[in-house]
Amino acid sequence: MDIVTLALAKKFTKSTVAIGGVLTSITRQPNGDLLITYTPTSGSPIVFNAGNVPAGRGITDATIGSNGHLTLTFDDAITLDVGRVTGTDGIDGREIELSTAGTVLRYRYVGTVPWTEVFDFADIEIPAAILDYVSGATYPPNTTFTDPATGIIYRANRSYTAVSIDADLTNGDIRQIGGGGSYTHTQNTASAVWTIPHNLGQQFVDVQIIDNAGITSTADIAYTGIDVITITFSVPMTGTAIIRR
C-alpha cells in the first residue's frame, strides 16, 4: 500500500468511527475508489468508500549515465536524478617485462631498475627416461623407474644398488613420485577362483573384471588381506582383473 493511500485511510476512519475495533482491510477498486473495512468491537463489519484516491507512482526504468548519475523514470513519465552513484576511476595497473639471466627467469615493472627473480630453470628436475625397476641393479642419483608389478613410479635419492622396493623405501634410497596405484592380473587358465596378490598396500581396492570377449563381468570379491584379493565366479573363467587403489 502506498503512503498516500494509508494516510487517507487513517484520516477517514478516525473522523467517521468511534475509537475501538479493528481496521481489517483497505482495497482499491478498478475505478480508483478506496474501500475501507472497519470491524467494531461489537457488531458487523462496516465498509466505507473513501472515494477516488490517486495511486502511488511506480518506477519503470533506472539507468546510470556516462556521468555516473542514477536516473529514475516513473510511470507518469517524470524523471528524477538521484545523483552520482559511481566512484572515480582507479589508477591503471603497471606493466611488467620479463627477462632471463642465465637460467633464471625474472621480471620488473616497466620504467624501474631492479629485477625480481621468479624461478631458476636449473632447479627443475627432468629425468632422462623411466626405466623398469630391477633388483640388484645400480642406479645413479635421480634415476626414475617404475615397479612393473604396480606401475608406481620412483626416483633414486642417491647412487645405490637396488634390493627391493620395500627395502629401498625403508633405507631412504628411493621415493615415490607418482603413477601407480594399479595392478593388472591376467588369468589364462580357466578357474572359478582367482587369488590375486596385487601388492598395492591397501585392502579395499577397486576391481574391474573383463572376460576374454572384452565384456565387463561381475563376481564375488573377498578382500582377504592388505595385498591380496580373491575373486569367485559361478563357473570357471579366464580373463583380466584390473585392481586400483
The tens digit of pLDDT for each residue in 133-144 reads 888 999 998 888
**Pairing of β 220-225 and β 182-197:** unpaired
Q: Rank 1-10, 55-64, 194-203 by mean pLDDT and report only the highest.
A: 194-203
Tracing cell 629485477 back to the chain, one arrives at: 115
| pLDDT band (50, 70, 90) for residue 222 | very high
pTM summary value: 0.31
Q: How far apart are CA 160 and CA 173, in angstroms?
A: 7
pLDDT category of residue 52 using cuts at 50, 70 and 90: low
Distance CA 243, CA 210 (A): 11
Nearest in space to 5 (alpha carbons), one of 21, 29, 22, 41? 29
> C-alpha angle 204/210/195, rounded to 5°?
50
Contact 114, 108 (CB under 8 A): yes
Q: How far is CA 223 from CA 60, 150, 180, 217, 243, in A?
A: 69, 18, 20, 18, 12
